[in-house]
Amino acid sequence: MVDSNGLSIHDRPNSYIGRSVPRPNLSRLLKGRGSYADDVKLPRMVHVAFLRSPLAHADIVKIETDKASSASGVIAVYNGKDLAKVCSPWVGVVTHLEGMRSPPQNLLAVDRVRWQGEPVVAVVAQTRALAEDAIELIEVKYKELPLAVDMKTALDDDTEVIHKEYENNLCWERNVNAGDVDAAFAEADVIVEEEFQFGRHTGVTLESRSIVADYDPGEEMLTLYQSTQAPHMKQALFAKHLELDEHKIRIICRDVGGAFGLKAHAYGDEFATAAISKILGRPVKFVADRMESFLADIHARDHVVKGKIGVSKAGKILAIEIDDLTGIGPYSVYPRSSGMEVNQICNLTGGPYKFDNYRARGRVVFQNKPPMCQYRAVGHPIAITVTEGLVEMAASAIDMESIEMRKLNMVADDDYPNKTVSGIPLENLSHQASTDKLMEMVNYKEIRDEQKKLRKEGIYRGVGFAALIEVTNPGPAFYGVGGAPISAQDGCSVKLDAKGNLIVGTSITEQGQGAESVISQVVATAVGITPDKIKVISGDTENTPYGGGTWASRGTGIGGEAAAKAGKVIRDNVLDVAGILLQSEPNTLDIQNNQVVNKSDGAERMSVAEISRVVYYRGDTLPKDFQAEMMAVQHYFPKSYPFAFTNSVHCCHLEVDVNTGFIKLLKHWAVEDCGTVINPQNVDDQVRGGVVQGIGGALYEECIYNEQGQLLNGNLADYLVPMAVELPDIVVGHVESKTFESDLGAKGAGEAGTAGAPAAIMNALNDALMPFDVRLTRQPFTPQKVLEALGKL
Amino acid sequence: MSKFVQVTTTVNGENVSRSVEPRTNLVDFVRYDLELTGSHVGCEHGVCGACTIRLNGEIVRGCLVLAAQADGGVVETIEGLSESGKISDLQDSFLTRNAGQCGSCTPGMLLTADSLLEENKAPTRTEIREYISGNYCRCTGFEAIVDAIEMTSKKRRGGS
């Protein structure tokens, strides 16, 4: 959106774009004044707790709840059949992932349980503790069934088929075939193959999933205080399955204690809470405790990928082939589906590089484990680890510096727009500039010299790289075309109050990333009002425009652009009034620091607050044929490209203790190109936080299951997450290649850290262990796996 | 035996007396009985540090201490420490350095950081990382928190 004089938002005076303004909502959180769903306390509120299946696959023979029903403080007890009468089952399939299938899923198990942790009975009581006491009094008789736990055997003929309506445990398969892969491999001087594994881990948001459902039978109105990332999506889903009018559902999510994708899905226990509130006509609270979070939150990753790369002697990539298998639990998760990760892996593998021949097969299988679905950087860590692992091995095979091989094969910065080998359009990326910048930041030669020296002393250090592309700013092609009620557009409302302040409503949500800060900075810049006079409202379906929310690195790029557009309308509208009052042409005026000024010399003419006063209180002084409009709503979604791809390149430096197998991260560097940077400090911390989640998956985090489908480490003491002491300082650099789709030019920045870190760590680890001629490719890289590789265990 | 126990304590300078179930832990007591919701519950098994509360001058895990153990004691929560201004410099540093994202760990992290700076006026970055290693943060990657604590330590020692 460029002015008549050719200026865009980047030419605004006193711009807040590119400035590390402190986040306006952080002060409140620092004083313990946050308002999370569990902080909500309503009159007559009761609490629900769930009896969850102790078995991974069994028929429910009998549920005996009489003792629980008469226990102290208990108000009601419901089983799956009871709640199925109030809330219809759902199917977690999106139609654009052709051929995908998944059966209807009930809120609570009906007749059969299919994973350990599946909710079976809901107990409502005066307090959570009393509800849990009553759960102890419930007797469920199960008949155990054969299991399909291991995804590797899930498709075997003799494996139990989980859903009797299907002939096997396949949920979905995707195949990609570009160029002539067989001919290219035949032509290749060197072919390298490897199998990569990615452990099953989970989100572990510090604030667990939480909801307070408050149904008012008088108004037939359901108000939900929910920790979620997508309020309007949730509104649509609750309306559909509880058979309520959509406009009589209000989702309020004020503070959300971390989300990372896991709060963008439908969960049976949360819908059960709403269903129970509808039955009882009073508020009901459910907050997942940590133990049940491990069993009931979506899990992530869990892939095994066979990869193959063919290169020429000179280092040109000729072909890549992958075969990915993932286990997603017994159901594809509603409404986004559990096929997206495989879809992404098929799309993203080989992403930074120019080559013509690519074959991918991705298979998604059902198994008796908790449902797996989208978690930060969906598919990226897998595609990138496979690609960059293969590139590293190929470079080693032809005795070339891997960073040189990457540079040789990268799509050139002046060769955009372009397409990936699988046909995904790429608008404007900067692999070369980003890699050059990274190499300026990393003291590579010194690290190599030191590595040589230290090896002689028995100290093994390694350095590894990873280049990547990342999907951000998804349009309707992501979910909407597949029939899911997930908006790809976002909106922003800007209202000038009677004192010259701005009340801004955004449909993107805040989970700590700084969404409200971004919106505030963009509106401040677009209008010419200082951020201290701007109040941003998010996370309330009744008080914000309709939109998608915050996921898939879309908030800034899509919601931010809507804010820029709405701000511009308000500026124009204010200047129309100013033109009348000042008897000047509006296009000779501007707004800076809350004042209407001359564009020519910046001289202050009148305050915006004075315009507010006149408009709201003294409209009689304005011409009769003029009506001032001091509120504007604008919406936006990207139209030319289905996604805005970003790029990033990482470097990891680490040390391996070959006696204990412990890996110490020494330093991590990441150069990120997310287009326009609105708040540099926020973006850097998004990258850092993302890198640390990538470190978690690469080194520590894994949901460990036995053959019976029992989680062995489902608590925060046994499931390891990265803590401060294990982590290095993380150095972040930027290149800014704007997307030309929007005036703002911003792409997403939330996921590239998680996307790239595991691959860089794996390559650094294998570099460190080069003298021992071993290679580790199964994440997480625990001390045990290191010692096993070294033959010491 | 009575089903309830009486807990009489000073919370953020106010005298408080409540009858609670013996099993009520300290963080549930402050959150649900006293409506001081700034202290958070993250794991309920003493690992994450979100429920860090000050009891008789020492930081404790609010999920591992019973409310009854605070009887006759002095309890301080994020609300009290904020209102008294005791940790305002730490809060300023956290704000400037963006050392909190979702805010779940933040109150516990601030109390832990304050305790560190009382014990050690000039901690190294490694010492900061070690001291806060019982407080789980999923968002920041911890570096901003380490920076903010280091900034505060320098300010308290009269540096810039």
Single out the residue in A582, A605, A636 at which a domain terminates. A636
Asked if residue A390 and residue A343 are part of one domain, the reply reads yes
Asked if residue A249 and residue A120 are part of one domain, the reply reads yes
CB atoms within 10 A of CB A492: 31
Asked if residue B61 and residue B28 are part of one domain, the reply reads yes
Cis peptide before A638 (omega within 30 of 0): no
User: Is residue A688 helix, strand or coil?
Assistant: helix
**What is the domain-level CATH number for residue B107?**
1.10.150.120
| Residues of chain B contacting A258 with CB distance shorter than 8 Å | 101-102, 104, 138-139
Domain count, chain A: 3
pLDDT in tens, B43-86: 999 999 999 999 999 999 999 999 999 999 999 999 999 999 99
Tell whether B142 is within 8 A of chain A (Cβ). yes
Question: Using alpha carbons only, what angle is made at residue A672 by residues A196 and A440, rounded to the nearest 5 degrees?
Answer: 100
| Contacting residues for B158 by C-beta, under 8 A, at least 6 apart | none
**Tokens 């990382």 sit on residue:** B129
Asked if residue B152 and residue B128 are part of one domain, the reply reads yes
Single out the residue in A594, A621, A636 at which a domain terminates. A636
Residues of B (39-58) whose Cβ lies below 8 Å from A: 39-48, 50
Q: How far is A716 from chain B (nearest CA, A)?
A: 6
Rounded CA-CA distance A8/A526 in Å is 9
Report whether pLDDT(A460) > 90: yes
Rounded CA-CA distance B75/B68 in Å is 12
User: Is residue B19 helix, strand or coil?
Assistant: strand
pLDDT of residue A3: 55
Rounded CA-CA distance A239/A246 in Å is 5
CB atoms within 10 A of CB A141: 11
Rounded CA-CA distance A24/A478 in Å is 31
Rounded CA-CA distance A92/A297 in Å is 16
| Residues of chain A contacting B82 with CB distance shorter than 8 Å | 30-32
pLDDT of residue B1: 45
pLDDT of residue A7: 67
Q: Which of A128, A206, A650 to mutate to test the interface with B (most CBs of B within 10 A)?
A: A206
Residues of B (93-122) whose Cβ lies below 8 Å from A: 94-98, 100-107, 110
Alpha helices in chain B, H assignment, sequence order: 26-28, 78-84, 88-96, 106-119, 125-131, 143-156
Contact B78 A31 (CB under 8 A): yes
Asked if residue A580 and residue A652 are part of one domain, the reply reads no
| Residues of chain A contacting B63 with CB distance shorter than 8 Å | none
Rounded CA-CA distance A727/B106 in Å is 19
Asked if residue A249 and residue A101 are part of one domain, the reply reads yes
Comparing alpha-carbon positions, the chain B residue that sits nearest to A227 is: B102
Asked if residue B117 and residue B51 are part of one domain, the reply reads no
Report whether pLDDT(A5) > 60: no
Asked if residue B20 and residue B54 are part of one domain, the reply reads yes
Structural domain including B24 reads 5-81
Q: How does DSSP classify residue B32?
A: I
Tell whether B88 is within 8 A of chain A (Cβ). no
Alpha helices in A504-607, H assignment, sequence order: 515-527, 560-582
**What is the domain-level CATH number for residue B56?**
3.10.20.30
What percentage of residues in chain A have a pLDDT greater than 70? Answer: 99
| Contacting residues for A327 by C-beta, under 8 A, at least 6 apart | A150, A151, A154, A200, A302, A365, A366, A367, A369, A372
Rounded CA-CA distance A90/A98 in Å is 18
| Contacting residues for A6 by C-beta, under 8 A, at least 6 apart | none
The CA-atom distances, in angstroms, between B126 and each of A662, A683, B59, B122, B133 are 18, 24, 20, 11, 10
**Tokens 């009393």 sit on residue:** A130
What percentage of residues in chain A have a pLDDT greater than 90? Answer: 97
In this prediction, does ipTM exceed 0.85? yes
Asked if residue A644 and residue A730 are part of one domain, the reply reads yes
Single out the residue in A636, A657, A676 at which a domain terminates. A636
In this structure, what are the phi and psi dihedrals at residue A416, rounded to the nearest 5 degrees?
A: -115, 155
Single out the residue in B49, B81, B113 at which a domain terminates. B81
The CA-atom distances, in angstroms, between A496 and each of A506, A706, B102 are 15, 60, 29
What percentage of residues in chain B have a pLDDT greater than 90? Answer: 96
Asked if residue A771 and residue A683 are part of one domain, the reply reads yes
Rounded CA-CA distance A473/A488 in Å is 9
Please report the DSSP string for A200-212 in residue order. Answer: EEE---SSPPEEE
Comparing alpha-carbon positions, the chain A residue that sits nearest to B23 is: A129
Asked if residue B73 and residue B104 are part of one domain, the reply reads no
In this structure, what are the phi and psi dihedrals at residue A645, rounded to the nearest 5 degrees?
A: -80, 140
One-letter identity of residue A494: V
Asked if residue A517 and residue A466 are part of one domain, the reply reads no
Structure tokens at A492: 């922003």
Q: Which residue has the higher pLDDT, A14 or A604?
A: A604
Q: How far is A20 from chain B (nearest CA, A)?
A: 9
Contact B139 A514 (CB under 8 A): no
Asked if residue B93 and residue B58 are part of one domain, the reply reads no
The CA-atom distances, in angstroms, between A363 and each of A193, A482, B106 are 19, 19, 41
Structural domain including A345 reads 299-476+640-789
> Closest to B47 (Cβ–Cβ): which among A259, A716, A724?
A716
Single out the residue in B46, B81, B116 at which a domain terminates. B81
Q: Which of A20, A29, A208 to mutate to test the interface with B (most CBs of B within 10 A)?
A: A29
Q: Which of A226, A291, A329, A213 is nearest to A52 (CA)?
A: A291
Comparing alpha-carbon positions, the chain B residue that sits nearest to A289 is: B43
Asked if residue A219 and residue A320 are part of one domain, the reply reads no
Q: Does A337 reside within a domain?
A: yes
Asked if residue A222 and residue A79 are part of one domain, the reply reads yes
Domain count, chain B: 2
Asked if residue A602 and residue A571 are part of one domain, the reply reads yes
Contact B47 A717 (CB under 8 A): yes
Single out the residue in B60, B81, B102 at which a domain terminates. B81
pLDDT in tens, A616-646: 999 999 999 999 999 999 999 999 999 999 9
Asked if residue B91 and residue B138 are part of one domain, the reply reads yes
The CA-atom distances, in angstroms, between A579 and each of A5, A569, A573 are 18, 15, 10
Sign of the torsion angle spanned by Cα atoms A25, A29, A33, A37? positive
Q: Does A510 reside within a domain?
A: yes
Q: How far is B72 from chain A (nearest CA, A)?
A: 25
Asked if residue B56 and residue B10 are part of one domain, the reply reads yes
> Closest to A290 (Cβ–Cβ): which among B38, B39, B43?
B43
Asked if residue A564 and residue A429 are part of one domain, the reply reads no
Rounded CA-CA distance B74/B5 in Å is 18
Q: Does A219 reside within a domain?
A: yes
Rounded CA-CA distance A657/A232 in Å is 50
Confirm if A687 and A670 have CB atoms less than 8 A apart.
yes
| Contacting residues for A706 by C-beta, under 8 A, at least 6 apart | A712
Asked if residue A353 and residue A440 are part of one domain, the reply reads yes
Q: How far is B158 from chain A (nearest CA, A)?
A: 23
Asked if residue B49 and residue B98 are part of one domain, the reply reads no
pLDDT of residue B2: 59
Average pLDDT over residues A576-605: 97
Q: Please tell me the least confidently modeled range out of A8-12, A354-358, A577-581, A745-749.
A: A8-12
Contact B101 A258 (CB under 8 A): yes
Dihedral, A177, A468, A206, A276 alpha carbons, nearest 10: -30
| Residues of chain A contacting B37 with CB distance shorter than 8 Å | 32, 34-36, 38-39
**What is the domain-level CATH number for residue A592?**
3.30.365.10
